[in-house]
Structure 1
């Protein structure tokens, strides 16, 4: 039954890939289509409002500067609201202002689509802050990432054209994707008993006669964009394990599909832009193969249970249920964990700190690779980066100038890709080492031994991958952790985005090279295997030593 549950969800996803991918292509292809009749009027009004009368294409530098400037304005606006929330409306529970370093961490976290939470939403934020900052940034950060991914796809597939206009892409991502989808999912969640209210915290009498306070609020609307935008920040501290955020197995499946469907559809969108659907299916196949391997490891590890629990005489016949909700069980917990790390969402329906060592290794390894579906465009862009790298390596092996989609891959592109590849492990491993070397970082670790290494490593990996989930065993709401993870989130988001836009800008200016009989094919099963091998080889070279020190050593110790 467990396997059947997971297979049904995967089958539904597969059915959604083609229609969703086609829809996204029509949204961003800038070709006239029937969607213009539905959304065109609203978009033209917005364009006039912001003074965007001529939506000319941008160079990669113009695109990068525009999206960074937009993000800076949103960060400043959000910082002021969180610092002044005690004096702002819609604060029926009297929440005070957020501490400065925590405010810095929070606004950076949500602007970078990470949603790492060093606070508990129901006890730290007013309703106004939840809506005007948290939900607003969930929309804008997702739209930013989506826009940059589409710009990159245009750069490597179009012929002598620009990579598009950021403001046009940004508006369309809101009007044609995130706002209508969020509205529908919100109504579905409300129908399935997820709260949506501005009433203050409820005070009720329990069956034993004691008085209890129950937090409520605009939960359903936050849940919808939290998953559709692969954001992950929960209204409540325990995130999607809370019965108000995720009350049933049905809502659990809906939330899984919400955070998984759009990232899974993007490779098909890429194939349509490339005018070669096989190219898109190669990328998707590599992603789904890696995903199924990680899902199998997560499920079998949690189903097998913990040797430590068995040694204590605890019945582990149902698997390792520590930290998991009974209403979900092992299957839906393992699937949710694997999907949330693969889609870099960060939402959780179980406590990752209580996963078995190999079960905890799964989300950690997925975030380290950061290519398995990914968030709004992250997985596609990173997988395409590895695609170019695989083509380059294969070209060197056979003595040919490497080409991808009719364009030569030259030193400039490879230098930029090297920056993106090397930056990811650097901003994970260096802060991890510093945290262990300083009292400010080391003092937050609550679990000694190998698991403590995993806790720290997971926190910085989640920050660098803009995921946002955590082992939650760290005492991380301190100035050291707020500032260090905030900086890692910034570098993890913008270094790779700028580098890949530069690659797109370089490739879009090149004249296409005619395909010949000697051209290395990148749209067949052989290249899918080469792509998977490249991803695993680079991942092993950069992260295997530290993984051995953490989850692998913990697993061997427990055996």
Structure 2
């Protein structure tokens, strides 16, 4: 029954790939299409307001500087709001201004699409801050990631000289993708009893006569973009385990599909841009193989029960239910855990800190690989990076200059890809080592054993992958952790984005070369195997020692 549940959700997702991927292609192909009839009237006054009349294409450098300037302006605006929220409207709970290092961490977290929360939403933010800062940045950060992914795809597949216009893409991402989908999901969640109100907290008298405050608020609207934009920041501290955010198995499936669908559809969009749908399905198949392998690991680990309970002879027929909601059970908890870290969403419907040691490898591995579907475009561009690397390695083995989509892959592209590949483990492992070696870092660890290493490793892995979930046993709301994770989130977001945009710009300038008998085909089953092998090889070489020191060592010591 558990396997059937997971298979149905995966099947529904697979059915959505083609229509949704086609729609994204229609939105961003920069040619007149059917979506213009619906949305052009809304967009024209917006383009006029921002002075974007001709919408000329940009080079990769101009595109990158444009999205950085937009992000910087939004960060400054949001920081001011959080520091002054006590004096602003829609604050029925009288919540005080946010502390400065926590404000820094929060605005960086939400602008980088990480949504790492070192605060509890219902007690740390006013309604005004939840809507004007948190919900707003959930839209804009997701739109930024999607725009960069589309620009990268254009650079790899087009014969033009530009990667598109950032401001045009940014507006379209909002008006044609996120706003309509978020409205639909919000109404669906409201119909399923998720709160959507500006009323203050409810005053309830319990059976023993004690008065209790129950936090409510504009929850459904935040939940919708939280998952559609692969953001992950919860309205409540316990995130999607809270019954107001995720009341039943049906809303659980809706949230899974919401955070997974756009990321899963983007490889098909890439295939349409490349004018070869098989290219897209190859990328999608490689992602799904890795996804199913890691889903199987966490499901098998959690369903077999806790190693300690098994050793003590305690009945574990229901699996390891510690930290999980009974209304979801093992199957939907394991699937949610896998999807939220594969899609770099970061929302949780169970406590990742209480996963079995082997089960915790799945979320860690997915964030370390950072190419299995990913957030808005992150998984696609990273998997394409691995595809180029796989072609390069194959070319070295046969003594031939590698080609990908009709362009030669040369030293410049490989240097940029090496920067993107090496930066990710560096900004995870170096801060982890520093935190474990300093008193400021070790003071936050609540478990001094191997699990403590996993807590620290998970925090920086989540920050670097712009995921935002955490092993919540870590006492991370301190200046050390707020600043260090904030810097890791910045590097994790922008170093790879600029490196990969530079790759796209470099490929855009290259002459197309005809395919010959010696060209490695990248649209067949053989290349799927080469691609999966490349990802696993690079991942194992960079992260396996850290996994051994954390989850694997913990598993061996408690057996």
Confirm or deny a common fold (TM above 0.5): yes
- Which residue pairs with 1:171 in the alignment? 171
**1:207 CA drift (Å):** 2.2
**Range 261-270 or range 156-165, more displaced:** 156-165
The answer to whether the Cα contact below 8 Å between 2:196 and 2:221 also exists between their aligned partners in 1 is yes
Q: Find out whether 1:321 has 2:316 as its counterpart.
A: no
- Which residue pairs with 1:148 in the alignment? 148
- Which residue pairs with 1:75 in the alignment? 75
Aligned length: 559
- Which residue pairs with 1:243 in the alignment? 243
Q: Find out whether 1:109 has 2:94 as its counterpart.
A: no
Q: Find out whether 1:472 has 2:477 as its counterpart.
A: no
The answer to whether the Cα contact below 8 Å between 1:374 and 1:380 also exists between their aligned partners in 2 is yes
Deviations 1:365-385 (A, max 9, x none): 000000000000000000000
**1:312 CA drift (Å):** 4.4
- Which residue pairs with 2:542 in the alignment? 542
Cα separation, 1, equivalents of 2:239 and 2:309: 26
Q: Normalised by the size of structure 2, how large is the TM-score?
A: 0.99
- Which residue pairs with 2:296 in the alignment? 296
**1:105 CA drift (Å):** 0.2
- Which residue pairs with 2:404 in the alignment? 404
**1:313 CA drift (Å):** 5.0
- Which residue pairs with 1:4 in the alignment? 4
The equivalences for 1:44-193 within 5 A come to 44-193=44-193
Cα separation, 1, equivalents of 2:123 and 2:517: 64
- Which residue pairs with 1:285 in the alignment? 285
Deviations 1:192-213 (A, max 9, x none): 0000000001110112322111
- Which residue pairs with 2:527 in the alignment? 527
Cα separation, 2, equivalents of 1:444 and 1:282: 43
Cα separation, 2, equivalents of 1:389 and 1:156: 14
**Range 249-258 or range 306-315, more displaced:** 306-315
Cα separation, 1, equivalents of 2:535 and 2:272: 24
Q: Residue 358 of structure 2: SS of its match in structure 1?
A: helix
Q: Residue 357 of structure 1: SS of its match in structure 2?
A: coil
**Range 306-315 or range 170-179, more displaced:** 306-315
- Which residue pairs with 1:517 in the alignment? 517
Cα separation, 2, equivalents of 1:394 and 1:317: 47
The equivalences for 1:150-549 within 5 A come to 150-312=150-312, 314-549=314-549
Cα separation, 1, equivalents of 2:488 and 2:506: 27
The answer to whether the Cα contact below 8 Å between 1:160 and 1:510 also exists between their aligned partners in 2 is no
**1:239 CA drift (Å):** 0.1
**1:158 CA drift (Å):** 0.2
Cα separation, 2, equivalents of 1:208 and 1:56: 67
- CA RMSD after TM alignment: 0.6
Cα separation, 1, equivalents of 2:320 and 2:503: 45
Cα separation, 2, equivalents of 1:417 and 1:44: 38
Cα separation, 2, equivalents of 1:262 and 1:161: 27
Cα separation, 2, equivalents of 1:350 and 1:242: 10
Cα separation, 1, equivalents of 2:174 and 2:358: 38
Q: Residue 487 of structure 1: SS of its match in structure 2?
A: helix
**1:307 CA drift (Å):** 1.8
The answer to whether the Cα contact below 8 Å between 1:145 and 1:378 also exists between their aligned partners in 2 is yes
Q: Normalised by the size of structure 1, how large is the TM-score?
A: 0.99
Q: Residue 78 of structure 1: SS of its match in structure 2?
A: helix
Cα separation, 2, equivalents of 1:142 and 1:207: 44
Gaps of 5+ in 2: none
**Range 304-313 or range 63-72, more displaced:** 304-313
Q: Residue 204 of structure 1: SS of its match in structure 2?
A: strand
Cα separation, 1, equivalents of 2:208 and 2:17: 50
Gaps of 5+ in 1: none
Cα separation, 2, equivalents of 1:558 and 1:14: 39
**1:311 CA drift (Å):** 3.8
Q: Residue 421 of structure 1: SS of its match in structure 2?
A: helix
Cα separation, 2, equivalents of 1:314 and 1:84: 52
Deviations 1:28-86 (A, max 9, x none): 00111111010001111100000011100000000000000000000000000000000
Q: Residue 16 of structure 2: SS of its match in structure 1?
A: helix
**1:102 CA drift (Å):** 0.2
Q: Residue 360 of structure 2: SS of its match in structure 1?
A: helix
Q: Residue 358 of structure 1: SS of its match in structure 2?
A: coil
Q: Residue 213 of structure 1: SS of its match in structure 2?
A: strand
**1:550 CA drift (Å):** 0.2
Q: Residue 551 of structure 1: SS of its match in structure 2?
A: helix
Cα separation, 2, equivalents of 1:354 and 1:307: 12
Deviations 1:348-389 (A, max 9, x none): 000000000011110000000000000000000000000000
Cα separation, 2, equivalents of 1:542 and 1:354: 25
Cα separation, 1, equivalents of 2:245 and 2:513: 52
The answer to whether the Cα contact below 8 Å between 2:59 and 2:161 also exists between their aligned partners in 1 is no
